[in-house]
C-alpha cells in the first residue's frame, strides 16, 4: 500500500496524541512492520512534534505544524516541519555523564538522539525560518 497522509495541527500539546495515533495507524498499514517498530516510530514522531510545537510556542507563532507521512512499498517516511527559528543540529550541547550529579540538571535535550536511535534514518534540516525532521523506517528490517 502506498499513499500520503498529511496533518496540519495547531502547536498545542493536546494534539500530540492525535499525531501519534495517525502516524501509528499509517505505519501499521505497511507490509509486515512489527508492532515494536511502529511503537518506536510513534515515539520518534512524538519527539519531533514536541520540538516543533515548542519552537512555535517559544516564538509566539500561531502557524500549524505539518506532519506528513509518505508510505511506499518499502518504507515509511514521516516529515515534521515547523516555522520556528531553527537550530544547528550539529552543535547540540552534550549532556553530562549519567554518573555526574549535574546530569539531573538537564531535563531536556534527549529528543534528537532518541530519534536517531528509534529510526533507520533521521535527517534534520534547519534554517532561520524553520526546521524539517524526516524520520524514515524501512519495512522488513
Q: Can you give the binding site for another protein, defined by CB under 8 A?
A: 13-14, 16-17, 20, 39, 42-43, 46-47, 50, 53-54, 98-99, 103-108, 110-111, 113-114, 117-118
Nearest residue (CB) to another protein, 15 versus 139: 15
**Residue 127 C-beta: closest distance to another protein, Å:** 24
Measured distance CA(120)–CA(93) in Å, rounded: 23
**Residue 82 C-beta: closest distance to another protein, Å:** 14
Cβ atoms 12, 57 nearer than 8 A: no
Nearest residue (CB) to another protein, 60 versus 101: 101
Nearest residue (CB) to another protein, 52 versus 132: 52
Residue 139: is it exposed, middle or buried by C-beta count within 10 angstroms (0-12/13-18/19+)? middle
Nearest residue (CB) to another protein, 38 versus 69: 38
What DSSP string describes 42-65? HHHHHHHHHHHHHHHHHHT--PPE
**Residue 50 C-beta: closest distance to another protein, Å:** 5
Residues facing 82 on adjacent strands:
131
Which of helix, strand or coil describes residue 49? helix
Amino acid at each position: 500500500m502506498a499513499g500520503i497522509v498529511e496533518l496540519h495541527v495547531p502547536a498545542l500539546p493536546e494534539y500530540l496524541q492525535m499525531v501519534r495515533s495517525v502516524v501509528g495507524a499509517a505505519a501499521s498499514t505497511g507490509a509486515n512492520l512489527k508492532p515494536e517498530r511502529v511503537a518506536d516510530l510513534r515515539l520518534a514522531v512524538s519527539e519531533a512534534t514536541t520540538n516543533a510545537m515548542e519552537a512555535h510556542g517559544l516564538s509566539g507563532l500561531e502557524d500549524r505544524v505539518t506532519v506528513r507521512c509518505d508510505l511506499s512499498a518499502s518504507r515509511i517516511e514521516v516529515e515534521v516541519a515547523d516555522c520556528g527559528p531553527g537550530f544547528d543540529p550539529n552543535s547540540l550541547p552534550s549532556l553530562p555523564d549519567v554518573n555526574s550529579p549535574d546530569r539531573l540538571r538537564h531535563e531536556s535535550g534527549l529528543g534528537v538522539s532518541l530519534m536517531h536511535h528509534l529510526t533507520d534514518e533521521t535527517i534534520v534540516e534547519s534554517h532561520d525560518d524553520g526546521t524539517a525532521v524526516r524520520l524514515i523506517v524501512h519495512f522488513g528490517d
